[in-house]
Homo-oligomer: A and B are copies of this chain.
Amino acid sequence: MKEFEDLDFCKVDIDREKRTGYPEVIYGEGKSVENISQIMGKLIDHHGKVMVTRLSQEKADLLTKEYPLAAYDATSRILSYGGPERRYAGEVMVLCAGTSDLFVGEEAALTAEWMGCSVKRVYDVGVAGIDRLLAHREEITKASVLIVVAGMEGALPSVVGGMVRRPVIAVPTSVGYGAHLEGLTPLLSMLTSCASGMSVVNIDNGFGAAYQASLILQLASEGEKDE
């Protein structure tokens, strides 16, 4: 049985949903509208749904003409078509340190929702105003998985990590300047965090964090219970 469909310029991985739980997601940057459209077609045929990330407004305008059922969100730059058949129990919380990090926070939030998670957003709770964060302490300790997005020095995940008994996925952002090194500084900083139970994804990779968060809720939903 065929596991992928060979378009001229790429191999669409139609077996992926069976293998990993989710259909392939299209990374929009650097792909032409024609190519995206073709891959979208194949994926909609096979799975009835598709998501495109890092898509510019211009490309999105052309694609939504072709696929009127697709919805585009300008903050996260995500185009989505269709959605989850079910919703996992539990909740993914997306925390954002600053208002400039929202584009990453929303990429994470929309991805997690499209993959079947309930998402709670807690934004603009950078550590330099610790009371704004503490005001949400109760909610924070109730989340199942936490995605913590931060630019600048990237300190938020460490503080959150020490408050909860759930997995924390940290996302550094490219928001900052000078010694921030386009995100490399918070990336490295998060990796050396003194908080346990925390892992890190690439700079601005809200999608990747949400993807892993969804896999975690999927696992929990499928029931690995104490025997």
Q: Which residues of A contact B (CB under 8 A)?
A: 3-4, 9-11, 13, 15-16, 19-22, 25, 30-31, 35, 86-90, 97-100, 102, 123-132, 134-135, 144-145, 152-155, 158-159, 161-169, 172, 174-205, 207-209, 211-212, 215-221, 223-227
Which of B129, B158, B191, B221 is in CB contact (< 8 Å) with A225?
B221
- Given A88-B224, A180-B192, 4 more pairs with CB closer than 8 A: A154-B155, A167-B215, A192-B202, A216-B219
Q: Which residue of B lies closest to A204 (CB)?
A: B178
Q: Is the CB of B215 within 8 A of A4?
A: no
| Residues in B neighbouring A88, C-beta threshold 8 A | 224, 226
Copies of this chain in the oligomer: 8
Q: Which residue of B lies closest to A154 (CB)?
A: B189
- Inter-chain CA distance A104–B32, complex, in Å, is 17
Q: Which of A178, A182, A204 has the most CB of B within 10 A?
A: A178
Asked whether, in the complex, the Cβ of B155 is within 8 Å of the Cβ of A189, the reply is yes
B226 and A197 within 8 A (CB): no
Q: Do A129 and B219 have beta carbons less than 8 Å apart?
A: no
CB distance from A80 to the nearest CB of B (A): 16
Cβ–Cβ < 8 Å partners of A177 in chain B: 192, 202-204
A201 and B204 within 8 A (CB): no
Q: Which residues in B have their C-beta under 8 angstroms from that of A181?
A: 184, 188
Answer whether A199 and B209 are a contact pair too, CB < 8 Å, given A10-B99, A127-B162. Answer: yes
The CA of A200 and the CA of B171, in the complex, are separated in Å by: 11
Instruction: Please indicate the chain B residues that have their CB under 8 angstroms from the CB of A4 in the complex.
Output: 129, 131-132
